[in-house]
Chain A
Amino acid sequence: MKAEPLVLERTLNAPVASVWDALTNNAKMKKWYFDIADFKPEIGFEFQFYGSKDDTRYLHLCKITELIPEKRLTYTWKYENFPGESAVTFELFEEGAQTRLKLTHAGLESFTTDNPDFAPSSFNAGWTFIIGTSLKDFVEGKHTN
């Protein structure tokens, strides 16, 4: 059983080329994303950034694993000195003058699996239970003790 990834979709009021540029051009990334010292849109390129200027505890480590210009960008996403590795994928779909962006963050559950006693398969089932709709209904229901 595979854990469910986090998926978000957004329709952006800009053509695919502009969105792709915002995702891969470092000067533009700084305006909305993170302040990354060096970023090159190339498979295998590694980059890193801190979560915040106020808090330098979590260094994010990323490596580009998939790159199809104006269509798809994937990089790994993990934290220095913490176990686990996830992957963030941006997919772009042209919709006339607009662009639908689909963001998938997979493997978030791996950040909690450093305990060797965990069987990954049952752990993933637990994760899916947590973020699945049945649990969402369940915790948003009347049981709040």
Chain B
Amino acid sequence: MRNRTVTLKLVTEWFHIKQSKLRRDVFQAIADPTRREIIGLISQQSLNLNALADHFEISRPAVSKHIKILMECGLLAIRQDGRERYCEPRLQKIQEVAAWAEKYREFWSQKLDALANFLDSENQPK
């Protein structure tokens, strides 16, 4: 019974987290293929703005717009190093979303454990 309470609390918690924090930020950040590519690139290494823009065929202002959105969503930060500005990843929020998906996996995992236990108990001679 305790397990079940814990499970349901988890479900409630992620729902609360999702409602309060995730919608309209992280999902929006990665809804666009260019932004996903930017995240992919800077997760390998920090890149200055020029180097990053060179990876894309779209205009520099267009790349800048995506960078700005990623900053607003908290997935990217700019670090000034002398005359260069480097884009660095801030992946904590993506981890939160991955954790949100993971809650469902945990939830069903625990339900299936409960099912397996129930079936075992049914097989026991009374």
Tell me if A8 counts as interface (CB < 8 A to partner B). Answer: yes
Q: Tell me the chain B residues, 51-88 only, with Cβ under 8 Å from chain A.
A: 88
Contacts A6-B104, A139-B94: A22 and B23 contacting too (C-beta < 8 A)?
Answer: no
Do A112 and B116 have beta carbons less than 8 Å apart? no
In this complex, the member of A55, A125, A129 whose beta carbon has the largest number of chain B beta carbons within 10 angstroms is A129
A: interface residue count bin = 35 or more
| A105-B104 in contact (CB<8A) | yes
Which A positions have Cβ atoms within 8 angstroms of B? 6, 8, 10, 12-14, 18-19, 22, 28, 31-33, 51-52, 54-55, 57-58, 79, 101, 103, 105, 108, 111-112, 114-115, 117-119, 122-123, 125-127, 129-131, 135-136, 138-139, 141, 143-145
- Show the binding face of B for A, using Cβ within 8 Å: 5, 8-9, 11-12, 15, 18, 22-24, 27-28, 30-33, 36, 40, 43, 88-92, 94-95, 97-98, 101, 104-105, 108-109, 111-112, 114-120, 122-123
